[in-house]
């Protein structure tokens, strides 16, 4: 078909609905949608009213989850205090600077980072890097100074806040650090009492709720609830002043003789209380170094051959068995004695000497003969009664028991060498407790380091009173041996450097070889153990010096002077008055000692007549009479008052302008003297 033949249809006209129809349909739709919206609003209103008036338990739980946040807090760790209540370890809330990067505007970030960098001493680019992270929480600095925290808060920026977390702090620094130990970053005790009593000190964990705002940020500070399950406080028998003078004495030993280590213990004879346990070198638990060696507590962790300091126990056993008395004679064979294929020698050869002189001249041969006469079955149980060969049970980790051979396994030569401290090992604490037993009329007390443990409210949870352990020898024997030991510090004895002005000293020196790879090497340990005052012992003190490299290696030279220093300061602090008669008796005074005298006006140079003399404390028999300290420097006051056992509180700097108690007041050792300086 040709295109011209196609049929042409007329164009279609568009269909137009009437306006009334369109309007009616629109109105119907509008009514339907409006009705649906009203129904939904009504349902929401009814549901809202139901939630307000009678919410279900599930609804309440969901609301709480959205509004409240739970946090688990570590409770405040308990404190460690000395016998007078001075804090040795405590917990403080240290500030951390925290930022919410999501609340920092990009344009203000560089300026804010620069201002924070100047305050917290952190590089600005490091702060800016944390600000750019997709996070709601970033720590900028930890354990900042409170003044720094206050300066950060003064910026008043919504993204910044200060959080506080507990940190272990040791107010006395290095004092008794090996005894206390330290706490790691997770809050767990490491070494010392912090480790052994961690369960008591740590406390529990507190689960607390805190509110959150619409941004999910916490608006409550829950740290106040940490005390609800706080750890218990531990009260020690340590005396802060005695511990301090002991550590200072060991520092002097290190300066004079450069040993590998030096260590000492001070024991209250009548109670067994450990007043001091010191080691040098030491460390600061507030600032741990990388070297773990100074953290070792040699007093309980070193089982050493005691050497001649063992001889008083040998003599005590022989006297108790009735074999000898102080004036009994014994043949020391001119300094050489053969047992089997072995030979025993004396450093100071003698022939016939008394038992008292056996201790005075430290005869190995005399001690060996006493042990052989006693026999192993009789002699060794006495050593066990004095506390050797087994742990003492002190509340510190790592205590050694030492080595003491069994009677059935010991050879004659081994029994002989045991008598003078060779082939047997003991810790310095065992030696101190053994000597304390002699001073306590033969009764050995259990060593006491922790006196009590109290809860948050001061209620004792655990108490350890002074406890008798064993009766090693009779009072008569013990007193006799102590009297013999006085000769060691008299002229001709091995420990004249251990004398303390105004007090009689009973003691014994020892210089032991150190075993290396099963054989004795060149190393030596010089020791001194002693009781003071010898007439009525109050303190038992042991000092040991491991491998001194300068000067002498003998205990009477390296350890005895430290003993005298510790004893003199400790007795003054404890209020044990010296005997005035002994201050004039040269037999009981250190070599070259000159009793202090007040200078007369004629002896003073003219220009010094108006200058104040040295600060002098007067002992009344019950306490110290406080001098007038006004116009004195802090250095003068500390040097005069601290050795007397007085606690000082200094405010300001310069010279003293006010003091409490006033001049002329009588105060007991340990009393606090408050001074204002300007």
What are the structure tokens assigned to 486, written together? 């006085």
Give me the CATH number covering residue 634: 3.30.10.20
**Residues 537 and 622 reside in one and the same domain:** no
- Across 419-426, average pLDDT: 92
Q: Give the model's pLDDT for residue 220.
A: 55
**Residues 110 and 215 reside in one and the same domain:** yes
Residue 102: inside a domain: yes
- Across 137-150, average pLDDT: 82
Say how far residue 442 (Cα) sits from the centre of its chain.
31
Compute and round to an integer the Cα radius of gyration of the chain: 39
Q: Percentage of the chain with pLDDT > 70? A: 87
Three-state SS at 450: strand
Q: What is the pLDDT of residues 634-653, one digit of tens each?
A: 777 876 776 566 777 777 77
Checking if the pLDDT of 565 tops 90, the result is: yes
Residue 309: inside a domain: yes
**Residues 141 and 191 reside in one and the same domain:** yes
**Residues 511 and 485 reside in one and the same domain:** yes
- Most confident range (mean pLDDT) of 90-94, 293-297, 657-661 is 293-297
Q: Give the model's pLDDT for residue 21.
A: 78
Q: What is the pLDDT of residues 94-120, one digit of tens each?
A: 788 888 888 888 888 888 888 888 888
Q: Give the model's pLDDT for residue 102.
A: 82
469/204: higher pLDDT: 469
**Residues 220 and 272 reside in one and the same domain:** no
Q: What is the pLDDT of residues 177-231, one digit of tens each?
A: 999 999 887 778 889 999 999 988 887 666 666 666 655 555 555 555 445 577 8
Considering the candidates 308, 362, 363, 367, report the single residue annotated as catalytic: 308
308 is catalytic: yes
First vs last Cα of the chain: how many Å apart? 129
**Residues 499 and 384 reside in one and the same domain:** yes
Q: What share of the chain is helix, strand, coil (3-state, %, to 5)?
A: 35, 25, 40
**Residues 627 and 518 reside in one and the same domain:** no
Residue 360: inside a domain: no
**Residues 383 and 427 reside in one and the same domain:** yes
- Distance between CA 614 and CA 22 in Å, rounded? 118
**Residues 159 and 229 reside in one and the same domain:** yes
325/675: higher pLDDT: 325
**Residues 221 and 261 reside in one and the same domain:** no
Q: Percentage of the chain with pLDDT > 90? A: 44
Mean pLDDT score across all residues of the chain:
84
Task: Please state, in angstroms and as integers, the Cα–Cα distance from residue 594 to each residue in 459, 499, 586, 600, following that order.
Answer: 51, 13, 10, 17
Q: What is the pLDDT of residues 386-397, one digit of tens each?
A: 999 999 999 999
Give the model's confidence band at 162: pLDDT under 50 very low, under 70 low, under 90 confident, else very high: confident
**DSSP conformation class of 218:** B
Give me the CATH number covering residue 496: 3.40.710.10
- Distance between CA 117 and CA 109 in Å, rounded? 12
Domain count, the chain: 3
Give the model's confidence band at 54: pLDDT under 50 very low, under 70 low, under 90 confident, else very high: confident
Give me the CATH number covering residue 155: 3.90.1310.10
Q: Give the model's pLDDT for residue 607.
A: 42
What are the structure tokens assigned to 589, written together? 């005074």
**Residues 512 and 656 reside in one and the same domain:** no
- Distance between CA 667 and CA 438 in Å, rounded? 33
Q: Give the model's pLDDT for residue 606.
A: 46
Provide the Cα torsion 395, 401, 402, 404; round to 10°.
140
* Confidence (pTM): 0.76
Residue 467: inside a domain: no
Residue 290: inside a domain: no
Residue 661: inside a domain: yes
**Residues 201 and 247 reside in one and the same domain:** no
Residue 457: inside a domain: no
Q: Which domain holds residue 570?
A: 243-283+298-321+377-391+413-452+476-588
Residue 442: inside a domain: yes
- Across 597-617, average pLDDT: 52
Say how far residue 631 (Cα) sits from the centre of its chain.
36
143/352: higher pLDDT: 352
């Amino acid at each position: 078909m040709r295109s011209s033949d196609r049929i042409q249809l007329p164009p279609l006209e568009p269909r137009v609905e009437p306006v009334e129809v369109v309007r009616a349909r629109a109105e119907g739709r509008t009514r339907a949608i409006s009705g649906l919206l009203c129904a939904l609003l009504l349902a929401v209103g009814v549901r809202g009213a139901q939630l307000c008036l009678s919410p279900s338990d599930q609804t309440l739980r969901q609301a709480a989850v959205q509004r409240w946040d739970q946090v688990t807090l570590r409770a405040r760790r308990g404190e460690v205090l000395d016998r007078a209540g001075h804090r040795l370890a405590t917990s403080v809330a240290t500030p951390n600077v925290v930022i919410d990067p999501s609340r920092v505007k990009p344009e203000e970030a560089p300026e804010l980072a620069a201002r924070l960098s100047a305050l917290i001493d952190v590089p600005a680019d490091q702060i800016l890097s944390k600000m750019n992270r997709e996070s709601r929480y970033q720590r900028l600095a930890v354990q900042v100074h409170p003044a720094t925290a206050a300066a950060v808060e003064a910026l008043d920026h919504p993204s910044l806040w200060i959080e506080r977390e507990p940190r272990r702090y040791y107010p006395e620094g290095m004092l008794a650090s090996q005894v206390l130990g330290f706490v790691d970053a997770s809050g767990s005790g490491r070494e010392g009492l912090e480790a052994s009593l961690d369960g008591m000190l740590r406390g529990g964990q507190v689960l607390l709720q805190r509110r959150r705002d619409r941004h999910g940020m916490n608006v409550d500070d829950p740290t106040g609830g940490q005390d609800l399950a706080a750890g218990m406080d531990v009260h020690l028998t340590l005396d802060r002043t005695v511990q301090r003078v002991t550590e200072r004495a060991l520092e002097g030993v290190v300066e004079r003789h450069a040993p590998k280590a030096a260590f000492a213990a001070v024991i209250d004879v009548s109670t067994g209380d450990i007043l001091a346990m010191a080691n040098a070198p030491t460390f600061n638990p507030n600032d741990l170094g990388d070297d773990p060696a100074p953290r070792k507590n040699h007093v309980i962790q070193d089982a050493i051959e005691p050497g001649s300091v063992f001889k008083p126990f040998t003599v005590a056993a022989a006297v108790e068995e009735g074999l000898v008395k102080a004036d009994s004679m014994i043949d020391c064979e001119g300094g050489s004695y053969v047992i089997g294929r072995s030979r025993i020698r004396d450093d100071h050869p003698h022939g016939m000497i008394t038992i008292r002189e056996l201790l005075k001249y430290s005869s190995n041969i005399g001690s060996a003969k006493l042990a052989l006469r006693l026999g192993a079955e009789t002699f060794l149980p006495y050593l066990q009664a004095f506390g050797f060969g087994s742990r003492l049970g002190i509340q510190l980790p790592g205590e050694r028991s030492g080595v003491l051979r069994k009677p059935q396994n010991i050879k004659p030569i081994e029994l002989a060498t045991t008598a003078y401290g060779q082939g047997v090992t003991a810790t310095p604490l065992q030696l101190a407790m053994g000597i304390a037993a002699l001073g306590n009329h033969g009764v050995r007390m259990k060593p006491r380091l922790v006196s009590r443990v109290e809860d948050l409210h001061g209620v004792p949870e655990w108490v350890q009173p002074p406890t008798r352990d064993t009766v090693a020898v009779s009072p008569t024997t013990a007193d006799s041996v102590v009297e013999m030991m006085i000769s060691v510090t008299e002229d001709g004895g091995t420990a004249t450097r251990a004398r303390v002005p105004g007090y009689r000293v009973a003691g014994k020196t020892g210089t032991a070889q150190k075993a290396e790879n099963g054989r004795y090497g060149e190393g030596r340990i010089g020791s001194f153990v002693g009781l003071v005052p010898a007439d009525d012992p109050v303190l038992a003190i042991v000092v040991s010096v491991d491998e001194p490299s300068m000067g002498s290696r003998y205990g009477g030279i390296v350890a005895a002077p430290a003993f005298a220093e510790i004893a003199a300061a400790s007795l003054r602090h404890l209020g044990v008055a010296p005997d005035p008669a002994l201050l004039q008796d040269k037999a009981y005074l250190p070599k070259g000692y000159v009793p202090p005298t007040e200078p007369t006006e004629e002896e003073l140079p003219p220009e010094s007549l108006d200058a104040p003399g040295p600060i002098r404390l007067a002992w009344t028999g019950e306490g110290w009479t406080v001098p007038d300290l006004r116009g004195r420097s802090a250095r003068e006051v500390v040097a005069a008052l601290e050795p007397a056992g007085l606690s000082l509180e200094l405010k300001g700097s310069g010279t003293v302008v006010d003091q409490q108690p006033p001049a002329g007041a009588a105060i007991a050792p340990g009393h606090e003297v408050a001074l204002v300086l300007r």
